Structure 1
Amino acid sequence: MFLNVTQLSVQYPGQAQAAVDGVSLGLRAGDIGVLIGPSGCGKTTLLRAVAGLERASSGSIALQGELVSDGQHHVPAEQRRIGMVFQDYALFPHLDVGRNVGFGIHQRPKAERAARVAEVLQLVGLDGMQSRYPHELSGGQQQRVALARALAPAPRLLLLDEPFSNLDVDLRERLAHEVRAILKAAGATALFVTHDQLEAFAIGDVIGVMHQGHLHQWDDAYALYHRPATRFVAEFIGHGVFAPAQIRQQDGEVVVQTPLGALTDVDECPLPGAYEAGLCDVLLRADDIVHDDAAPVKAQIVRKAFRGSEFLYTLRLASGEVVMTHVPSHHDHAVGEWIGIRPQVDHVVTFERGGAAGSPPAPAIQRSGHPPAP
């Protein structure tokens, strides 16, 4: 692994709980990793520890096989050859774009420095803009100048701390795709911090979900969504709810009984014995629920959010259970209206009834000749 973080803990003096608690992760050369989680979860502290701006209380950080931090040793940030892009870009307003980008390589000969500045500006799509000043640029252009400045010294690792948070919501996801393309073209290895899932999905090869200092899962976006490692990941990623369910045997098949009816014909599902009396909570995501006027189960719309091509409906069943569903926007129903719904669940994910945030799902079993997904 290019970056190896092993059982890393960072604890600030006077605080009872570690800001980062026993985190382990690996990042391959050329990959982009993303840390995501709610405010105060420890993701920025972890990024700062990798940068060398925070000391490890225990555990270790190794970069390209070199130990840069553990409980006893600490390589200073300026000796780690790590580039950083901050939330506020930290551009010098009195310097033009060329001098901002060349700031970190000022010791190089003038001609070599100018060539490198031109090279990275072309990489970020700002070639020919060396003479502009930061106040003459849009927010997105300023962000790319900050990225070019971080790339100019050819760091072995690039760290980005919520770099899009000052931009309009509509611009963030598009710019995340652009930055991913820039980093891939540069062959850069990067670790990125955000609280925005769409940004994380757009830019990351691998994504880590953090909560209260712990890393719950380090995986690709598809696995986080469909095969969450803990109840917290299941709740944090995407739109969904936990509904009470019972797993039981029926005619030789495993059936998951839910408020929406029975889930059958599922390849991956725990056996009833995984829980006492088969009682559990099942994760029902918005794309697991299909609007169908002919369905016997009806639900009342209690909230609707227009998303352009679709609505996100929050629905309440007659039993009081709440579920969510995505519906094409031409199905424009009023709040308070009752509509037909049915379950269409490909990945049955269940948890202990009322379990803690860190509790894992019961393991899937093999049926129908298909191995469980990794």
Structure 2
Amino acid sequence: MTRPGPLEGVTVIELSNMLMGPYATMMLAQMGARVIKVEPPGGDIARGIADATGHGLGPIYLNINRGKESIELDLADPGDRSTFHALVEAADVVAHNRPPGSDVRLGVDYPTLSRMNPRIIVCAMYGFGADGPYGSLGAYDDVMQGISGIAAHQTGDGPPQYVRTPLTDKITGIVAVGAVNAALYERERSGVGQLVEVPMFETMVGFLLAEQQGGFIHNPPRGPAGYARTNSPHRHPYATADGMISILASTDAHWAALFRILREPQLAEDPRFASIRARTENIDELYAWLKDALARHPTRSLLEQLHEARVPAMRVNTIEDLFVDPHLAQTGFFEEVEHPVAGPLRQPAAPVRFSRSGSASLDAAPSLDADGQRLRQEFGRRETA
């Protein structure tokens, strides 16, 4: 199914659906793991989202289930349950997104699976830490953006808004990938597996507070929470004379170059802007000036000067622009694959590259139960308990 990567030889059984779990296991597949997707009767619900094929192959499903094998199993059925147990006995990792309690009822909890395979690593991705008052509650991305502070933080004093991508699903999935790899490394020393819990709420609170805790880093607080630069209402992509750019000057050298390029070099000596502390304290005034100054310069010559001065700045892309971006084209970021049902597809390649072990090149996402017959023959069935 895949070409070698650093996780070649690792087998992952995935019992998750929608986005968080499948995104995590797809990244493990990109690192070379064999991922067997165990789907419930009818398949992953994400199959039907914006499905133009009529075959349960919507674009989200196609993008985050590449490189996997699909088997449809009803874990309430004794025969299918025995097939699942056979898969677990031969696997290294089981990944699921069932909330605490639900995993026990389904029989995918760590105590149950570790009795079958003491080396198994169970990665449980769910909304809240199991030992808290929210522990048994289910969660989706919008709910987690709300409770984690992300939604309210987007607009400051305005009404809360969601980030227009399932941020918490994907970030938690990325954290899960790191946690699984750490558990695999530890197992090389101990010889036994363990439960790896990755709660969305705690993950996103830690993610947000990394730079937003502000005065609340002290107990009791010594000032307000937040980070003035990222919270400024003037922080946004800026209009030029003929387009839009994003820019982030950070160091003293960046700002000195930017003041020079925008023809006000004397501002580098202005006490309001001469140091990072002063700029942070006066960030609204500084960014308001930047907005007006950039609007007087054409995009192309402005970017040429900024790049020459090593000031980070780029044009603003739409989603459609990404498919013709010259950098992505030259680095081979998009892969062309042929799906036996959905036809030719263009999909993102792995962004991470490994110089010696290589990165796996993934086949297209499978149709429901596309590998079921072969997997049943490969793993057989054990006697049900």
Common fold: TM-score over 0.5: no
* TM-score, normalised via structure 1 length: 0.30
Larger RCO: 1 or 2 (CA < 8 Å, sep 6+): 2
Q: By percentage of residues, which structure has more helix?
A: 2
* TM-score, normalised via structure 2 length: 0.29
